[in-house]
């Protein structure tokens, strides 16, 4: 049996959908019953409940599992969550963990300045030292994070970010899910790290133009200061630590300026990379603000 954790989050749910597309049964871990409703409706998906921080809640989820896609949120508790989960997986006899990590969006990114990158490195060291066979997926920024800008797009026709003319190479989580599916269902990926980006390094002016073309309404990029954006995140209800972590991330991105494109993983697995323009067209109604993003889109 294959288990996907973080199954109601963005990359986790996309991977569950990829299993459904192939008709391959899969087990999906969610933290609480009310979060599993959308996934429970999918054929071949066994939804189980448990908290990765609490091994005693994972007994059923890990029973009979050969391989796991390990994902949890990028917050301050990620290190403890995933190390605790690794211990529980070893105890339960799991044979292979595919760790979902992140590619620094720009070469030269300072891990000491960004906790989530640092935690990913520490977790990987823990996983390798544990002796558990492992594989790492390292995607760049998800295209889906631009949904967080929908309120400004709808209210002001603007994409407001503190990025100047920095380029980013966001990747579609459905592309990542295809790689995750292949790695989880075929042999021979132990000890491999699969880095992924999208097919273009885009300025935010480019991203705004693609969204504008997709929704048929003018959307322009407006450069804001890091302080302005942090205030906007706080006003939108982000907890202060999350707003500060995002501000740090964007400062690092704009300090470095340029992202590189790496399509080696797409090529290795025969996946056509999704462009941002295609992504924006697929989710035009989400960018218009008329349809919410759901983990099980029609």
Ligand X SMILES: NC(=O)c1ccc[n+]([C@@H]2O[C@H](COP(=O)([O-])OP(=O)(O)OC[C@H]3O[C@@H](n4cnc5c(N)ncnc54)[C@H](OP(=O)(O)O)[C@@H]3O)[C@@H](O)[C@H]2O)c1
Binding site for ligand X (CB under 6 A): 5-6, 8-12, 31, 35, 51-53, 71-74, 81, 100, 102, 116, 139, 141-142, 145
Give least dist CB 95 to ligand X, A.
21
In the bound state with ligand X, the residue whose beta carbon lies nearer, of 156 and 292, is 292
In the bound state with ligand X, the residue whose beta carbon lies nearer, of 88 and 214, is 88
Closest CA to 177 of 10, 7, 6, 18: 18
Residues in the chain, total: 298
Q: What CA–CA distance (Å, rounded) separates 234 from 276? A: 27
In the bound state with ligand X, the residue whose beta carbon lies nearer, of 102 and 199, is 102
Give least dist CB 115 to ligand X, A.
10
In the bound state with ligand X, the residue whose beta carbon lies nearer, of 141 and 259, is 141
Bridge partners, 97 (sequence order): 68, 134
Classified as helix, coil or strand, 194 is strand
What's the token pair of residue 118? 């640092």
Q: What are phi and psi of 78, to 5 degrees?
A: -60, -40
Give least dist CB 285 to ligand X, A.
20
Give least dist CB 277 to ligand X, A.
19
Residue nearest to ligand X (CB): 9
In the bound state with ligand X, the residue whose beta carbon lies nearer, of 168 and 219, is 168
DSSP string, 196-252: E--S--EEHHHHHHHHHHHHTS--EEEE--HHHHHHHHHHTT--HHHHHHHHHHHHH
Q: What CA–CA distance (Å, rounded) separates 159 from 129? A: 43
Give least dist CB 216 to ligand X, A.
27
């Amino acid at each position: 049996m294959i288990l996907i954790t973080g199954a109601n989050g963005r990359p986790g749910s996309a991977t569950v959908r990829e299993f459904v597309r192939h008709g391959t049964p899969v087990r999906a871990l969610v933290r609480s019953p009310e979060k599993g409703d959308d996934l429970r409706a999918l054929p071949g998906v066994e939804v189980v409940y448990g908290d990765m921080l609490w091994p005693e809640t994972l007994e059923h989820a890990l029973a009979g599992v050969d391989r796991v896609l390990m994902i949890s949120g990028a917050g301050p508790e990620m290190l403890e969550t995933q190390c605790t989960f690794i211990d529980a997986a070893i105890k339960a006899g799991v044979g292979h963990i595919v760790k979902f990590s992140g590619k620094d969006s720009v070469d030269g990114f300072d891990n000491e300045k960004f906790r989530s990158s640092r935690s990913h490195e520490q977790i990987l060291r823990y996983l390798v030292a544990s002796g558990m066979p492992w594989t790492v997926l390292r995607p760049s920024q998800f295209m889906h994070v631009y949904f967080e800008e929908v309120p400004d797009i709808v209210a002001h026709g603007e994409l407001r970010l503190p990025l100047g003319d920095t380029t980013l190479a966001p990747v579609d989580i459905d592309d990542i899910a295809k790689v995750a599916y292949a790695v989880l269902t075929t042999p021979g990926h132990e000890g491999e790290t699969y880095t992924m980006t999208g097919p273009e390094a885009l300025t935010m002016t480019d991203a705004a133009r693609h969204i504008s073309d997709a929704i048929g309404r003018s959307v322009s990029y407006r450069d804001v200061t890091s302080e302005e954006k942090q205030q906007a995140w706080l006003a939108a209800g982000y907890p202060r630590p999350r707003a500060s972590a995002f501000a740090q991330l964007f400062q690092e991105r704009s300090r470095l300026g340029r992202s590189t494109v790496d399509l080696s993983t797409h090529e290795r697995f025969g996946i056509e990379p999704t462009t941002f323009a295609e992504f924006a067209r697929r989710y035009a109604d989400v960018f218009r603000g008329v349809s919410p993003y759901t983990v099980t889109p029609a």
